[in-house]
Amino acid sequence: MRRTRASLLIGLVSLLLGMSGLAQAAGGTAQFAYSPAHPDINTPVTLDASASSLSAGVITTYVWDFNGDGQSDLSSARARVTHLFDQSGDRAVSLSVSDAAGNSASITRVIRVASAPVRVRRTISTPIAPNRVAAGSSFQVTVTIKTTEAISGLGLDEDPPQGWRVSLVNGAGAAYKFDATQFLWLATLNPGETRQVVYNITVPANASPGLYTLAGRVSSFSPRFKIEVVGDTQVQVF
C-alpha cells in the first residue's frame, strides 16, 4: 500500500513537471522598445521588438496593432518597424509574435503622442512599387497638411533632387514660387482645415541609378514653427 501511494505520488510529480515543461516550451515573451521617447504626430517612431522570444521556436511574424482596435495594422517578418501616429494622446500599441508552429506571445504598451500645429504627410506615387521610377520618366508627389490650430502665413517648401523638373498639378490655393517649389497660404487657416498640394516630378534621362531623397518643411508666421515633411521621402531610380 505504501509503495502504491509512493508510486502515485511520483507519477503525479512527474506529470506536473511534464506539464510545466510543456508550458515553458510553448511560452515566451513579447516585448518592444520605442524611440524617441516623446514623439508627436509628425515624428516617425521606431518600434523594436528584437528582445522578444519564444521558447518553442524562432519568431517568424511580428503583428502590430497601432490604434488599439484589436485589428492587425502591420504584419512583418522584421523585428523593427517605423510608424507615424496620426492622432495625439495616449495610443495603445499591441504586438503579437509567433513562430512557424503557431506558438505566440503578446504585449500592449501605451505611447504618449504629442500634438503639433499641423499634421503633414508626403506620399509618392511611382509607376513601379515600391517607389521605383525609370530615368527620364515622371512620378507624382502629394503633400497633405491638416491644421490642429489657427495658422497664419502657412508655407510649404519642397526640395526635390537638383535638376529634377517640377510641374504643378494642384497648389491648393497657395501662392506658388515655381523656381523654388514653395507655397504660401496668405489667409488664416482654421483648426481642422486641410490643404493638399500635388505636383509631378520628371527625372532627368541621364540620372544615375540609385536612391534619391526628397526633403521639405512647413512653417508659419503665427505661431512660429518649422516642421519637416514626413512620410515618403525616397525614390529608387533605375
pLDDT of residue 55: 87
Residue-range domain boundaries for the chain: 27-113, 118-237
Rounded-to-integer distance, Cα 43 and Cα 119, Å:
10
pLDDT of residue 16: 33
List all residues 6 or more positions away from 111 whose beta carbon is below 8 Å from its beta carbon. 34, 39, 45, 85, 90, 91, 93
Fold for 27-113, please state it. Immunoglobulin-like (2.60.40)
CA 231 to chain centre: 8
Rounded-to-integer distance, Cα 231 and Cα 124, Å:
9
Percent over 90 (pLDDT), the chain: 83
User: Which helix (H) or strand (E) element contains residue 118?
Assistant: strand 118-125
Asked whether the predicted pLDDT for residue 21 surpasses 50, the reply is no
Q: Which CATH class is domain 118-237?
A: mainly beta
Amino acid residing at 132: R
Q: What are phi and psi of 57, to 5 degrees?
A: 180, -175
User: Which helix (H) or strand (E) element contains residue 106?
Assistant: strand 104-113
Answer yes or no: same fold for 27-113 and 118-237.
Answer: yes
pLDDT of residue 157: 98
Residue with cell 509574435: 97
pLDDT digits (tens, 9 = 90+) for 55-67: 888 999 999 999 9
List all residues 6 or more positions away from 118 whose beta carbon is below 8 Å from its beta carbon. 42, 145, 146, 147, 148, 151, 154, 218, 220, 227
User: Which helix (H) or strand (E) element contains residue 5?
Assistant: helix 2-26
pLDDT of residue 65: 97
pLDDT digits (tens, 9 = 90+) for 155-176: 999 999 999 999 999 999 999 9
CA-nearest of 230, 148, 216, 142 to 182 is 216
Rounded-to-integer distance, Cα 186 and Cα 1, Å:
96
For residues 122 and 229, is the Cβ–Cβ distance under 8 A?
yes
